[in-house]
A = this chain, B = another copy of it.
Amino acid sequence: MDNKKEPLILITNDDGVFAKGIRSLIDVARKLGKVVVIAPDKPQSGMGHAITINNLLRLYPYHQFEGIEAYTCSGTPVDCVKLGIYDVLHQKPDLLLSGINHGENTSTNVLYSGTMSAAVEGAIEGIPSIGFSLADFDPDADFAGAQMIAERLIKTALEKDWPKNICLNVNVPKMPREFIKGIKVCRAARAFWEDRFEKRKDQFDRPYYWLTGEFVYQDLGEDTDLHALKSGYASIVPVQYDMTAYNSISELNTWKV
C-alpha cells in the first residue's frame, strides 16, 4: 500500500460501541488505514437487516477511542452503515468492517445477525465488506486469535480485487491464538434453530415468553463453516445479497399459475 493513499475503513458492530469486540477490531484496523467508527449506542444483536423507518435516528460523537473519529447511532447496524456512508463520510469507504461479534454467526445465523447484515449492506453499496465473529459470548472474551485472523484478512482484502456483489462472513473458533490451525473458505452449513419459548408469568399473572432453543445441525459436509470451526480453523464464507433461487425458476415456470 506504500504508493497509495491510506485506505479509509468504516467500522461498525451489533454489540454496541462499548463492546470489547469492536475495540479489538479498531486496534487492528488502525494499523492498516484511517478508521472511522459508527456503532450502535446499545446492543443490537439479532436485529438482522432491520432499518429504522418509523422513528428518528440520533448520531452523537463518541470520544472513547483515542485519535479515532467515532460516533454512536441510536439505530440498527444497517442504519449505522447508511448514515456512515451518506451523512458522515459522504463517500464510500475502501473497506467496511463489522464486529468483532461476541458469539459465532455461522450457517443461517447470517440472516439474524446484525453484524453480518451491516456487511451485507456494504456489499449492496459495492463496498468490500467483512463481518467478524468470535465463537465466544463472554463480554470479556479473548480476542487475540480473532485479531490475528482479522489482520491477515484485512491486509489481503486491501491488496486483492474484491469479488463482485459479495461480502465475507468470518468466524473464529474459541481457543488461544496459537492453537488456531488456519483459515478455510467454506459454504454456510445447513442448520436451523429448533426454537423453544420459555413461558413465565409477570407480577399480574400474565404470561410472557423468552425465545430460546437449540441449533440443530444435520449437515455433515466437511466444507462448511461449522465444520471448520469444530476442527480448529477460522471460516470464511462469501455471502451474496441476491437471494434469488435461480435453480428453481424453471420448475416454477411449469406451475402455470
Q: Which residues in A have some Cβ–Cβ distance to B below 8 Å?
A: 43, 45-54, 56-59, 76, 78-79, 82-83, 85-87, 108, 110-112, 117, 120, 124-125, 152-153, 156, 160, 163, 165-166, 168, 183, 185-188, 190, 192-193, 195-197, 199-200, 206-211, 213, 236-246, 248-249, 251-253, 255, 257
Q: How far is the CB of A111 from chain B (nearest CB, A)?
A: 4
Residues on the B chain within 8 Å of A46, using CB: 50-54
Say yes or no: A237-B244 contact (C-beta < 8 A), given A153-B257, A211-B52.
yes
Q: How far is the CB of A99 from chain B (nearest CB, A)?
A: 16
- The answer to whether B242 and A238 have CB atoms under 8 Å apart is no
Residues on the B chain within 8 Å of A195, using CB: 82, 85-86
Residues on the B chain within 8 Å of A86, using CB: 195-197, 213
Residues on the B chain within 8 Å of A210, using CB: 56-57
- The answer to whether A48 and B45 have CB atoms under 8 Å apart is no
Say yes or no: A241-B243 contact (C-beta < 8 A), given A48-B48, A50-B48, A211-B57.
yes
Q: How far is the CB of A22 from chain B (nearest CB, A)?
A: 18
The secondary structure that dominates the A interface is mixed
Say yes or no: A163-B83 contact (C-beta < 8 A), given A48-B51, A54-B45, A244-B238.
no
8 A-B pairs besides A166-B245, A240-B244 with CB distance below 8 A are: A49-B111, A51-B211, A57-B209, A111-B117, A163-B252, A166-B248, A238-B252, A240-B248
Contact of A240 among B45, B48, B243 (CB under 8 A): B243
Residues on the B chain within 8 Å of A111, using CB: 49, 117, 120, 124, 241, 243
Residues on the B chain within 8 Å of A243, using CB: 110-111, 120, 188, 239-241, 243
Contact of A208 among B58, B166, B190 (CB under 8 A): B58
- The answer to whether B83 and A209 have CB atoms under 8 Å apart is yes
Q: With the chains together, A87 CA to B45 CA distance in Å?
A: 23
Q: With the chains together, A76 CA to B160 CA distance in Å?
A: 39
Q: With the chains together, A110 CA to B86 CA distance in Å?
A: 22
Q: How far is the CB of A216 from chain B (nearest CB, A)?
A: 11
